[in-house]
Amino acid sequence: MSEIIAPPDWSGPSSDPADEQFGDIVSGVDSDTADEFDAILVGEPYDGAVISRRGAAEGPEALRNALAAVKTHHFDSGPVNSVADFGDIDVPSGSVAEVQDAVQDVTEAVHALDALPVFLGGDNSLTVPNVAPLLEDSSVGVLNVDAHLDVREVRDGPTSGTPYRQLHEAGLDSYACIGARHFETSTAYHDYVRENGGTVVTGEAVAADLPKAVNRALSALDDVDRIYCSVDIDVLDAAYGGSSAPTPGGLLPRELFRLVRLVAADERIAGFELVECAPPLDTSGRTVDAAARTVAHFLSGWSA
């Protein structure tokens, strides 16, 4: 069974006392105090399931460091507040399947809290234990903001490319992917999504009319009670290549920021994650900075 490693101390690095940053408002909590906050950050430092380039295990620490320096104010909704840090899941060694099972022991307790969980990845394989506890007592849909569908068959064991097939087999009610790229997915996997009632909204559709694309993706989840939103940072264009599988033709950061704010406004949101941010693969910290601001925009849209 996994446990939680106590969160680090947060502080805002600005010397200007008027600059309220996330480092100034985020505080560490445990299970006894987490319910006092609206949202809690949970780190998942793991990349043992990555099928291409590793580095996402360093994501949670880098995301915290970047987010600490981000100011809390959004021009439309004002400052973000009531955010806490629950710490990192102490991910054990073992096979990917064993890791998923161990992590789920913790995520079940996290979802039992009143605060909204915001998971900082880590690789996409941990989407399985992040979502699975929600399947136990309600109808659930996943909105996968991603360049890829991640519905590969589980052959020699789970990988970062299998989470949504695993969740379908575990009883996931609905699935939509937004931001998917042409020529990045095999026909067999697109067919699998369609055969299981899923919806794919391409990155081109987002660029053409972002609100319409988001509405189409959310409409595909109309029949579920709860929605879990997963952002794989490789949905951004390859210029932001600090991820496992960057490819050209992706979203711009401002498109992703607006997208997650629109999604976060849905009252059925039951969890959020930012995965596949790999600092060792980053260039000048641009991907980590974009990923941290994606978290900030989601929190702003959710709390508005």
Q: Where are the domains of the chain?
A: 4-303
List all residues 6 or more positions away from 7 whose beta carbon is below 8 Å from its beta carbon.
28, 29, 41, 43, 85, 86, 87, 88
CATH class of 4-303: alpha beta
Amino acid at residue number 77: S
Among 301, 304, 298, 288, CA closest to 145: 298
pLDDT digits (tens, 9 = 90+) for 209-225: 999 999 999 999 999 99
End-to-end Cα separation, the chain, in angstroms: 36
DSSP structure class, residue 91: P
- Closest by CA position to 122, among listed 167, 63, 162, 193: 63
* Separation between Cα atoms, residue 50 and residue 247, nearest integer Å: 16
pTM for this prediction? 0.97
pLDDT at residue 243 in the model: 85
pLDDT tens track for 4-48: 999 999 999 999 999 999 999 999 999 999 999 999 999 999 999
